[in-house]
Amino acid sequence: MTSHTIQEIQNKLDLLLINTENILNIVDKNDVAEIREIEDIKESIYSPDFLLSKNFPLRDLIRSKRAIYEGISNMPGEVEIKRLIKVAQNILQPCRDHHGVPILPNSGYRSPLLNGITPNASKRSQHMKGEAVDFEVPGISNIELARWIRNNLDFDKIILEFYKPGDPHSGWVHCSYKSKEENRHEVYTTHDGKNYMPGIVA
């Protein structure tokens, strides 16, 4: 091997090294930052403090005394959290804004395990998908709340549950939201969780 050839090989190696460093720099500065950003977003949506909408942190839609008591995790996945965002922004937040009072939902997301041990819960409950919330608004009766949602909001399904005429704060309102395109606009009343009557029945 002549010294000329050795020099040529050395030059090529140097060039390769420079190129490799450049590639590493590009990966460092752009791609890694982007990956980091996606991870940060994922981390933040799993934080109980993450705001699904202006006044509704994730913690309010996953809290469950039953889950704590039974030692069951009730943390939804990313898909369910994205659905909870729609429920908070299209149902809960407009109810809060219109009535001007804080709302602490009775029940939002339910993991399949939690749903399984919840009395009267349907096996196909939309709570398991992060599409439904049970709630009341302080100061107004549950029948009024159900009517207000029906008359003013886009929704998938409203159920006035366990409401007793003459006792305005009995029961609660179950409301689900899927998307503008998928919402079915169904309205029911049930007094026992078994028989469902169409409409809002006092």
Residues engaged in binding Zn ion (CB under 5 A): 134, 174
Phi-psi region of 71 (alpha: psi -120 to 50; beta: other; left: phi over 0): left
**Phi (first) and psi of residue 49, to 5 degrees:** -85, -10
Report the residue number, 134 or 144, with the smaller CB distance to Zn ion: 134
| Of 183, 180, 161, 158, the residue nearest 170 (C-alpha) | 161
Smallest distance from Zn ion to CB 132, Å: 5
Smallest distance from Zn ion to CB 134, Å: 4
Report the residue number, 46 or 63, with the smaller CB distance to Zn ion: 63
Smallest distance from Zn ion to CB 159, Å: 7
Smallest distance from Zn ion to CB 161, Å: 7
With a CB cutoff of 8 Å and minimum separation 6, the contacts of 195 are none
* Rounded CA separation 108/85 (Å): 11
Smallest distance from Zn ion to CB 24, Å: 53
Report the residue number, 85 or 133, with the smaller CB distance to Zn ion: 133
Decide: 87 and 176 in contact? Cβ < 8 Å.
Answer: yes
Report the residue number, 46 or 148, with the smaller CB distance to Zn ion: 148
Report the residue number, 36 or 169, with the smaller CB distance to Zn ion: 169
| Of 32, 62, 30, the residue nearest 46 (C-alpha) | 62
| Of 156, 159, 149, the residue nearest 196 (C-alpha) | 159
Number of residue whose CB is nearest Zn ion? 174
The residues that bridge with 56 in the sheet, in sequence order, are: 53
